[in-house]
Every structure is written in structure tokens, then in C-alpha cells.
Amino acid sequence: MQFEITNEFIQEISELIALNKSDAVSELLQDLHPADIAEVLDEFSFDEAVFVMRLLNSETTSDILEELEEDTRARVLEQLSPKEIAQEIDELETDAAADIIAELPEERKDRVIAHLDDKEHAKDIVDLMRYDEDSAGGLMGKELVRVNENWTIMHCVKEMRRQAQEIGEVYIVYVVDDNDNLIGRLSLKSLLTTSTRTIVKDVYVGDIHSVKTTDHADDVAQIMQKYDLFVIPVVDQMGRLVGNITIDDVVDHIRDEADKDYQMAAGLTDDVEADDSIYELVKGRLPWLILGLLGGLGSVFILEGFETVMTNPKYRALFFFTPLIAAMAGNVGVQSSAIVVQGLANNIIKGSIWKRLMKEVGLTLISGFVLAIMIIIFGYFMSYTLDFSLTIAISLIAVIIIAALVGTFVPIVLDKRGIDPALATGPFITTSNDIFGIFIFFYIAKLLLGF
């Protein structure tokens, strides 16, 4: 049953902390999962959170540290000595330990590592820290079970028991050769049904998917999704087994990327949260707002170029349609770019760019004709002249076709240049299409109506 935080529960613990009743607080929290306790701590003041952390055993607090929000974790770690942090790190798996140490200030990293009791654990953590966080090496952990192809099943079982003592979960038994190169996996069925004198090379399964340490985390996620894997081994450039990645690590990466793309699409340049400082929030929002302002000023200059329309009573109503044109351009552009960005993220955008553009033109033409007919019908009931209604309708078709092309082309180009295509789904695409839309609208109107 999932734990649910209530105001009454938070209030009860806060009151017990205020009364310094450590035993009562420990009793309330003892049956909760570390992830639930981390969620509870996010509701407390900083002093209350530290009070609770100091009550719990090292194994529990290490798991809580892993689950805490990054900002909260950083504040908690500031209150701990390097030795105390090392005690927590010793309880964590290598990938989580490396991530937490990487968040520490430079001067504290070496001191924490020096205090780690398990030197092999420390060596693995240091090794992981040299990889880029968005690579397979940055996602992987060192905890795994490996056996040599030349071992007997009996020797294999003994080694597996020894190795498994240091591992929380055993997902797959990997098979390597004498050079530690990954060559396959050993199934549980083989272990249970094969003679103890059988050699591993005679029964292992050679069909195994793997990734290199330098592969991007997005590629890892796509491979695991494609083949329905819950764990995947990681090899170095020489094919040697160096670690594995579990599905929970990939899910965390996908969530982080989704958050980043959502914020970028919403016009936030930095990773900001609601409880960040005013300075951080302003820094994250202001650049796109400035871009929007510049785009608006560009629209002003475009409208000034057609100011003669305002002096002509016959065509003055064109200005009333400016918001409609700008809105439709922005909407169509965002729709097109969102579909393309999603396709790029799922690795399903393949083939010629021109075919993709032509497909978008065809789709937009159909939508445009439907919208144009609705404009003409609206013009009839509003008693507009036919040439005026046709001008609005033709302009609308042209505007949304251009917007669709921009919304399709820009994210593909950004992706090919190594820039996050999510950039194209936010204010960037909306502002650019607004400007293009207004200019195209009045230019076509000038050609057709002759003002």
C-alpha cells in the first residue's frame, strides 16, 4: 500500500521534534520506505530534516540521501563532516554514490573519498566520476555478477555466492572470457538443470545486447525500450565488461530530460523550480521574455510599414485580423514542432527531410482549406466583400503553411547540429512564426487588394 503524507502526520512529527522526543519520532518513521521518508523531509524545515536524519541508522539515511531533492540533499550534506558523508556513501551502490559525491564542492570530494572504508568501493566510485553524466558510463553501476567461460558450473556457483554478498540485487549473470570481454549471459535454468561439472562455455547464451561507456544516455534508453530490457551491460571500447545499467537509472534520466524539455518548451533557459530564489527564477525566465519583446518590436516595425491601410476605411478591418493570423501561425508552428520533437526523441524521424516537409505541407493544406472556408462563411455573415474574405482566407493558408514548414524544419536542423530540438517548441518558434505570419498576411493583402 502506497504511503500518503497528510498534514496531520507532518504536524505530529513536527510537534515531537519540538519536544525533542527522538524515540517517538523514530517509531513513527521506522516502517516507512526511505523514499517516503525523503518525501516527508521535504515538508520539514531544514533543522527538522537534519534532526530526523541524525536519528536514523546509516543504511537508512544513505537511501534517504539518494531520494532527496538535489537542493535539499546539498543543504543536508553541508551539515555533515566528510567522515559522516563517507559513512553514508559506503552504504550506497556505486552509481548513486558517484552522483552524490559529484554534487559536492571540489574541496570536499577528495576528503570524502579518503574517508571511505571500502577502498575497492572508493576505486569504483572514482572510476564512475570520470564519465559524462549523460553517457552510459555516467548511468552505470559497478555492482554485477560475472563468471568466466572456462569455469565449471560448481565453481561458477561458488563465485556467484561470493560476488553476490556485495550486491543488493542480482539481475543477470554475465559471462566473460579470459580478457574480461563480455561474450554472453548464463541463465538460471542452466544453473539448475546442468551438471556441476559442465563448463560454462558449453551452456551460456551468446545473444546479449550491450552498450559502450561513451554511448549517450538517450541511446541507452531507446535500446532498453526497443528490446524490453530491465538491465543492460556496459562495455569499454575494447569490449571488456565494466558495469551495467538498470531500468530505474534510465527512468530517472528520462524524467530529467522530460523536465528539461518541458521547461525549455515553456520558455525557461535554466533548470528552475517553484521554490527557487527570485534571482534563479528571473534568470531562468527573463531571456525568453526579452526574445518575446524583441519579436513584438519586430511586429511593430512590420505594421508600421503597412500603416497606410489604417487610413483607408475600406481595408482598416485588416488590422482586426492581425491577432487571428499571429495566433494561427503560432499554434500551427508549435503543433508541427511538437510532433517532430517527439519523433526525434523516440528515434522515429528517419528518411529525407524533404519528404517530411512535403507531408507537412499536404497536411497543412487540408487544414488550411477547411479554415479558409470557415473564414469565408464568417465574412459572409459579417457582410465583408468577397475579395476581402478571400484575401483573409488565402493569407491564412499561406501563413499556416509557412508556420508548419518552420515548425518542422527548425527542430530537425537543430537536432542535426547537436542542439536540443525541444528549443523549437517554445517561445522561439511562436515568436518567429508571429513575425512571419504578420508580414505574410499584410504582404498578400497588399498584392490582392492593391492598397
Mean pLDDT by 10 residues, the chain (451 residues): 75 88 85 83 81 80 81 81 86 88 87 88 90 91 92 90 80 92 90 88 91 92 88 94 90 73 56 61 69 74 71 74 82 78 68 72 86 90 87 89 82 74 66 79 82 67
End-to-end CA distance of the chain: 71
Angle 34-41/7-18 helices, nearest 10 degrees? 80
Contact 172, 244 (CB under 8 A): yes
Q: What is the pLDDT of residue 435?
A: 79
Last residue of a domain, one of 229, 246, 263: 246
Residue 87 domain flag: yes
Residues 326 and 412 grouped into a single domain: yes
Residues 127 and 207 grouped into a single domain: no
Closest to 448 measured CA to CA, from 388, 396, 397, 401: 388
Rounded to two decimals, what is the model's pTM?
0.65
Residues 68 and 107 grouped into a single domain: yes
Q: What angle do CA 19, 22, 27 make, to 5 degrees?
A: 120
* Distance separating alpha carbons of residues 249 and 395, to the nearest angstrom: 50
Q: What is the pLDDT of residue 245?
A: 93
Residues 20 and 98 grouped into a single domain: yes
Closest to 125 measured CA to CA, from 104, 148, 146: 104
Residue 272 domain flag: no
Residues 22 and 99 grouped into a single domain: yes
Contact 167, 143 (CB under 8 A): yes
Task: Count Cβ atoms below 10 Å from residue 138 Cβ, excluding itself.
Answer: 22
Residues 33 and 54 grouped into a single domain: yes
Range of the domain at 227: 145-246
* Distance separating alpha carbons of residues 123 and 84, to the nearest angstrom: 19
Residue 260 domain flag: no
Residue 266 domain flag: no
| Strands of 182-236, DSSP E | 182-186, 211-212, 231-235
Residue 409 domain flag: yes
* Distance separating alpha carbons of residues 43 and 183, to the nearest angstrom: 48
Q: What is the pLDDT of residue 285?
A: 66
Residues 173 and 199 grouped into a single domain: yes
Amino acid at position 262, single letter:
Y
Q: What is the pLDDT of residue 189?
A: 82
Residue 301 domain flag: yes
Q: What is the pLDDT of residue 309?
A: 67
Under 8 Å CB-to-CB from 204, ≥6 apart: which residues? 149, 175, 183, 184, 185, 186, 190
Q: What is the pLDDT of residue 231?
A: 92
Residue 257 domain flag: no
Q: For residue 430, give the CATH number of its domain.
A: 1.10.357.20
Number of domains in the chain: 3
Task: Count Cβ atoms below 10 Å from residue 382 Cβ, excluding itself.
Answer: 10
Q: What is the pLDDT of residue 270?
A: 53
Residue 269 domain flag: no
